[in-house]
Amino acid sequence: MKDVRPRFVNADLVIVSASDLGPLAEALAPALHRIATYRHRGLHHLRLELNLQPTSPDGAIRAFERVLTRLRPPVRRLWLKASRRDIDVGVEVPRSAATVVLAISDESVRRAGSLGARLVLTVYVRNGRGRRGLTSA
């Protein structure tokens, strides 16, 4: 059986914290736009996406690193205090895929680690009717 190379869709930054994340969202606004902001069980949740989506997961991780390392100290503390800091890489695969291989460079893994972020993979499976269904990986 042939390995399927997934198609990169996007990358999101997902942050969860006991602190209000509004100032962090505002500081990131020039390069990222807010997809969702909400509170759940006393925690603040923030999901952002790059305004200009790169063409690869490695490009997205580099872009997030550029933006996050430029944060001013008070806002950077909000990032560092967050209980969850994820770079969520979204890829799409055909429904018929038996095996999917996604390579993220060791440099990108180091970059994410230096930011204190986890790398998360979201796999969208094409359902054969032109729509994507969400399947976790």
2 in a domain, yes or no? no
Mean pLDDT value across residues 15-34: 96
* 8 A C-beta contact, residue 97 and residue 126: no
117 in a domain, yes or no? yes
Mean pLDDT value across residues 5-13: 91
Residue 43 to residue 63: CA distance in whole angstroms: 26
pLDDT at 134 over 50: no
1 in a domain, yes or no? no
Give pLDDT, residue 128: 58
Give pLDDT, residue 100: 81
123 in a domain, yes or no? yes
Q: What is the pTM of this model?
A: 0.86
Mean pLDDT value across residues 89-108: 88
Residue 74 to residue 35: CA distance in whole angstroms: 23
pLDDT-derived band at 71, boundaries 50, 70, 90:
very high
Q: For residue 91, what are the domain limits?
A: 7-136
